[in-house]
Structure 1
Amino acid sequence: MNMVPALADSRPAVAQHIYEYNFEERPDLLQKKYNSETGLGTDSFHNSSENAFSVKVPEGDYKVRVKVTGVPDVTRFLVFSEDRRVMSNILEIERGESKTLDFLVNVRNPQLATAEQDPAAGPRVGLRGDEGISRNWDDKLTIALSNNDVQFSQIRIEPGRKPKVLLAGDSTVADQASQDYASWGQFVPGLIRNRVVVNHARGGETLKSFLFSLRWDKLLSQTQAGDVVLIQFAHNDEKKQWPRTFAAADGAFPEYLRAFVADVRQKEAIPVLVTPVARRIYNEQEELLNTHQGYDEAVREVARATGVPVIDLTAQTTSFYQQLGQNEAKQAFAANGKDRTHHNYYGAWMIANMVVNSLQALYPELIQSENTLLDSTSPTRPGELVITPDLWPDMRPAAVEISGS
């Protein structure tokens, strides 16, 4: 593998070179904004507290090493990649102190290999909404620190194929880049250390739309033998007001799930079905309603029939909300608790712990995780995980409407 300075005249066309920057020796690199000609530079959104740096790289998997240095007396911070994917636990650093972090990142673009059935223009994932400015689909790798009280000292980006955990799902799984919204999928990269986590989930998606927009094709194109593929749908499949993508729990929905399972197995990979996270909706007796009635059981039934393991997030999240109580459960949800489907940092982080703990219990030989704080018998309370705005910076130029409910 070749070592290159990774400036414009030496940037490789394929993922086979190491990109390495020492900002202690070259502080001028942090004074220049990203542009496509140089292929590197600072890349923070103007309305955000983030401290971001981007490097133009080909699609592929990368091992990243970041050295950072604290500026004020004591600072808490997070490390992100791409669209607010969480790559670290909350860290604390003192003035002049340095910390080095290692993590794995996948970079992708919308292109797909051409098949005989494709139109002349060639196949692409059907991006929509704000995905045109999404860091998840551009031609660069963006690494961000949650605030400017922590500065980059060094960055090393090295191609390196690792086994993967791939995620297919809706807005409760997708990388949420705006406001106080978060999903369990964007926390999994920081919890699993021996596999690249590739999150293909998108807000508003159903099994049908995920297939017809070619998101499923793109996911499968990145899937290799031995990879783990987590599949969580139902939130939007159950919506009769969306007739084009509605799939009945006792009709098309389980059949599509079976096809997804068969596709993963055809790649010699490992499918894992996930029941949908519960909504926070109560009846007149203040009891949680199962708004996914029939769909969660359809997932379990397909898992039984196909011999596929299932992570029962419907049951786990219902228990979680009940343990918190109706008033405290609001503090796990976005829009300051007004949203009853989508989570904030605390809620998403708790559910990500549930997923990774369940996955490790299923495949202890395959999944190496960070030490988690989750105790299912006595969960971390919202007040025990204080998230200030400088830990969760916006990564959009304006507030984004969240797809799905």
Structure 2
Amino acid sequence: MNRLGLLAFALATPVLAQSPALMKYACGPANRMFATLSASSIYSDTHAGFDLNTLPSFTGKSCTSDKPFFFSVPVVEGSDRVTVVLGGDQSATTTIWSEARRLSVEKVQTEAGKSKTETFDVNVRTPEIGGDAAHHVHLKPREIGNLDWDHKLTLEFNGEHPSIRSISVEPITPHEPTIYLAGDSTVVDQDVEPWAAWGQMLPRFFRPGVVIANHAESGETIKSFVGEQRFAKIFSLIQPGDYLFMQFNHNDQKISPRTHQPVVPLDEYRALLIEYIGKARAAGATPVLVTSMNRRTFDASGHITNSLGDYPATMRSVAAEQHVALIDLNAMSKTLFETMGPEGTLKAFMHYPANSFPNQTEAISDDTHFNKYGAYELARCIVHGIRAANLPIKKYLVKGTTDFNPAHPDDVNTFHLPATPIPPKTEDVTKVPQT
């Protein structure tokens, strides 16, 4: 069944017979143009509805709650445009995360009885490559059941009394520019609080017209990205006009206990970068190299020390030789972290005492990975890099997005993004695989 066929099958209502490509759902009284949402609107493999054991209240013409709630729609692989009308009977501040905690809409305030409309694009993917179940991405255990790898589009409504009036989902045709992200745990859609990475924050900064497809995964090197068929997955989908952002380093440089050499030696790292630059160009896509951000390693004078070896320098030289756009996140993060200082960076990295979060039995002291604040600031660095490299996709940045100077980070004391509920299956958030 093709994409439009499955979408038509997803909800058996008269409106779908009229407009099978567009699915529209509304809270409140029945409306012939929308499928009416109620307490019985529970998601299944064939019907859209509220998901993950959450259900809002139905008041007047709105669905609202004092807790986060999820709504899922059965779809097939591709990109969808989502339009939501926010607002309810009381004032609300609503943040929308899509799929595995991708920030799509940030803290939209609505007054009591008023509404606001937000539109954003979401990419949905499945493990199969080219529709062949026998040819698929080699998922890790942590990815099994992950919202990034299923056959549905999931939206999380969060914040202070999150409230919605309606949701519309429509497949994007024709194809729009897609930014494919290839990288490791500092880029991936981290699906469990309080972990976060810059790739999942990036969608918030783009308006409809371009979509982010974050294929990064924890523990990846550029070599394992090949072996696990992750590049194969991307290149089964990538089209002319798309982008391939590549950030690898943190795991490539690690010393193998078997060979006592880097897991990916510099010469192989260089060769694979050049190979996939060539593959992207051959597909009509634009390759972009992103140097890895620094770890939280300070010297006695408060300066960041290089813990990443010659890999950032190698990526810079490849970018120059191959005439490829470079986003030097390594350099920007040095400025950012030194501005924050040794104490300030504790609030950007994963440093928490025991019992700060449900199921967190031990303290977290991690100088490589980030919380939402740190990930958000790094995403702002990426946006600055897109502008500095004069990439055409800069025209799709959300209007009013100010440029970012890493020497002047956002005030952590005024930063807040609502927390996604930690799944019951998570026994201990300190043990979420990150490497």
**Matches of residues 116-265 of structure 1 in structure 2 within 5 Å?**
122-147=134-159, 149-160=161-172, 161-193=175-207, 194-241=209-256, 246-249=263-266, 251-265=267-281
| 1:170 Cα deviation from its structure 2 partner | 0.4
Distance 2:48 2:423 in 1: 19
| 1:156 Cα deviation from its structure 2 partner | 0.7
1:62 alignment partner in structure 2? 80
Deviations 1:319-353 (A, max 9, x none): 10101111111111124372211111111111111
| 1:93 Cα deviation from its structure 2 partner | 2.6
Distance 2:369 2:9 in 1: 43
TM-score normalized by structure 2?
A: 0.83
| 1:30 Cα deviation from its structure 2 partner | 4.6
2:303 alignment partner in structure 1? 287
Q: Structure 2: any 5+ residue segments left out of the alignment?
A: 31-35, 55-65, 353-363
1:350 alignment partner in structure 2? 377
| 1:151 Cα deviation from its structure 2 partner | 2.7
Equivalent pair of 2:178/2:243 in contact (CA under 8 Å): yes
User: Structure 1 residues 63, 385: CA separation in 2 closer, same or farther (over 3 Å shift)?
Assistant: same
Identity among equivalent pairs (%): 30
Distance 1:29 1:148 in 2: 21
Equivalent pair of 1:63/1:159 in contact (CA under 8 Å): yes
RMSD: 2.8
Equivalent pair of 1:280/1:321 in contact (CA under 8 Å): yes
1:39 aligns with 2:47: yes
Amino acid at match of 2:314: A
- Between 371-380 and 129-138, the greater mean CA deviation after superposition: 371-380
Distance 2:283 2:14 in 1: 35
Equivalent pair of 2:88/2:165 in contact (CA under 8 Å): no
| 1:386 Cα deviation from its structure 2 partner | 3.3
| Count, aligned residues | 392
User: Structure 1 residues 126, 282: CA separation in 2 closer, same or farther (over 3 Å shift)?
Assistant: same
Equivalent pair of 2:221/2:251 in contact (CA under 8 Å): yes
User: Structure 1 residues 345, 242: CA separation in 2 closer, same or farther (over 3 Å shift)?
Assistant: farther
User: Structure 1 residues 6, 68: CA separation in 2 closer, same or farther (over 3 Å shift)?
Assistant: farther
2:59 alignment partner in structure 1? none
Amino acid at match of 1:385: F
Distance 1:40 1:30 in 2: 13
User: Structure 1 residues 334, 31: CA separation in 2 closer, same or farther (over 3 Å shift)?
Assistant: farther
1:88 alignment partner in structure 2? 105
Distance 1:100 1:30 in 2: 24
Deviations 1:39-84 (A, max 9, x none): 21111356x94211001011111111011224544x3331111001
1:384 alignment partner in structure 2? 414
Equivalent pair of 1:177/1:396 in contact (CA under 8 Å): no
1:7 aligns with 2:30: no
Equivalent pair of 2:107/2:159 in contact (CA under 8 Å): no
| 1:28 Cα deviation from its structure 2 partner | 4.4
Deviations 1:148-193 (A, max 9, x none): 7123321111111311111000011000111211111011111122
User: Structure 1 residues 295, 90: CA separation in 2 closer, same or farther (over 3 Å shift)?
Assistant: same
Equivalent pair of 1:333/1:343 in contact (CA under 8 Å): yes
Amino acid at match of 1:172: T
Distance 1:267 1:159 in 2: 23
User: Structure 1 residues 114, 90: CA separation in 2 closer, same or farther (over 3 Å shift)?
Assistant: closer
Deviations 1:105-130 (A, max 9, x none): 11111111279xxxxx6201111122
SS at match of 1:325: helix
Amino acid at match of 1:192: F
SS at match of 2:22: strand
| 1:365 Cα deviation from its structure 2 partner | 3.5
| 1:293 Cα deviation from its structure 2 partner | 1.9
TM-score normalized by structure 1?
A: 0.89
Distance 1:126 1:137 in 2: 12
1:360 aligns with 2:372: no
2:336 to 312, 315, 320: 320
Q: Structure 1: any 5+ residue segments left out of the alignment?
A: 116-120
Higher RCO structure (Cα 8 Å, ≥6 apart): 1
2:397 alignment partner in structure 1? 369
User: Structure 1 residues 292, 16: CA separation in 2 closer, same or farther (over 3 Å shift)?
Assistant: farther
Deviations 1:215-235 (A, max 9, x none): 111111221111111100011
Equivalent pair of 2:333/2:378 in contact (CA under 8 Å): yes
SS at match of 1:316: helix
Equivalent pair of 2:28/2:37 in contact (CA under 8 Å): no
1:101 alignment partner in structure 2? 118
2:28 to 3, 24, 28: 24
User: Structure 1 residues 150, 238: CA separation in 2 closer, same or farther (over 3 Å shift)?
Assistant: same
SS at match of 1:145: strand
